[in-house]
């Protein structure tokens, strides 16, 4: 099994870690637990779950602790305050020790089983991402997403059809090199491509939200992403790329 030399913790014993950012999702936690527990035995790689409590103010953290006590392949970290989706995702990436990691939303509008579709190509690409087929959202929500995706593609040229699909697989070493900023989760394909990484897109299933409330509204679905596109363009123009062509770091001193 490939190991990540940078991190050694419980997740280092696995090939794939599913990161699940959680903010005030107590209503759906038991369903989330069941879906993830059902997936682990059929996962394409040896898999664990990392629940990231993003400063929840409801009973989410208590439920997370109980879930991790019931399942040996479930782990968690809890952030001191709410940081937003990008912050929670970064916190998860920073502690993962498996060679591959995935991301899924706690609302289960996508299903863990579809990770296997993405994992079939994980060795050939730095990132494999889902495209929500037959989206089960309102017409207004779909329109907002279409506008935001179109503007983002124009600004980034990442060719990503559905960058907000909450089902993605990345090589952990690639994910750790991504420059993080607020709203980063919308630019994962473009940020991977900045590293000359390869990205593949695969259709996955999509379902209506059955519990809890969406954390997104018109402002953070349209206005924020449009502003973030300009921040990404500024960063891209100053991004440093390099490859080490030669070194003697592994030679014995004095020889």
Domains of the chain: 10-138+162-212 (3.90.550.10)
Which residues, including other chains, have CB under 8 Å from residue 86's CB and lie 6 or more apart? Answer: 180, 181, 182, 183, 184, 185
Contact 202, 117 (CB under 8 A): yes
Contact 125, 200 (CB under 8 A): yes
pLDDT tens, 31-43?
999 999 999 999 9
pLDDT at 139: 64
Contact 28, 108 (CB under 8 A): yes
Most confident region among 3-7, 93-97, 154-158, 203-207 by mean pLDDT: 93-97
Comparing 143 with 174, which gets the higher pLDDT?
174
Q: In whole numbers, what is the pLDDT of the chain averaged over residues?
A: 84
Grade residue 10 by pLDDT with cuts at 50, 70 and 90.
very high
Grade residue 248 by pLDDT with cuts at 50, 70 and 90.
confident
pLDDT at 251: 74
Least confident of 3-12, 31-40, 67-76: 3-12
pLDDT tens, 146-188?
666 665 566 666 677 788 888 999 999 999 988 777 777 788 8
Least confident of 91-95, 114-118, 150-154, 186-190: 150-154
Grade residue 242 by pLDDT with cuts at 50, 70 and 90.
low
The CA distance from 185 to 235, in Å, is 15
């Amino acid at each position: 099994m490939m190991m990540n030399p940078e991190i050694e913790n419980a997740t280092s014993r696995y090939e794939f870690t599913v990161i699940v950012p959680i903010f005030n999702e107590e209503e759906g936690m038991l369903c989330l637990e069941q879906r993830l527990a059902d997936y682990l035995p059929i996962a394409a790689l040896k898999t664990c779950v990392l629940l990231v409590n993003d400063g929840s103010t409801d009973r989410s953290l208590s439920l997370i602790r109980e879930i991790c006590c019931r399942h040996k392949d479930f782990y968690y970290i809890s952030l001191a305050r709410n940081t937003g989706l990008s912050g929670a995702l970064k916190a998860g990436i920073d502690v993962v020790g498996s060679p591959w990691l995935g991301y899924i939303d706690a609302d289960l509008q996508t299903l863990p089983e579809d990770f296997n579709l993405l994992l079939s190509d994980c060795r050939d690409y730095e990132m494999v991402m889902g495209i929500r087929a037959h989206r089960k959202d309102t017409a207004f929500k779909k329109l907002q997403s279409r506008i935001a995706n179109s503007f983002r593609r124009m600004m980034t040229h990442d060719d990503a059809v559905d960058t907000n699909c909450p089902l993605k697989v990345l090589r952990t070493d690639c994910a750790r090199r991504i420059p993080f900023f607020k709203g980063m989760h919308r630019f994962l394909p473009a940020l991977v491509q900045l590293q000359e990484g390869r990205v593949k897109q695969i259709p996955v299933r999509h379902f209506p939200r059955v519990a809890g409330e969406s954390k997104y509204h018109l402002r953070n679905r349209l206005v924020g992403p449009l502003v973030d596109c300009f921040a990404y363009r500024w960063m891209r123009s100053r991004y440093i790329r390099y490859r080490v062509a030669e070194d003697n770091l592994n030679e014995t001193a004095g020889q």
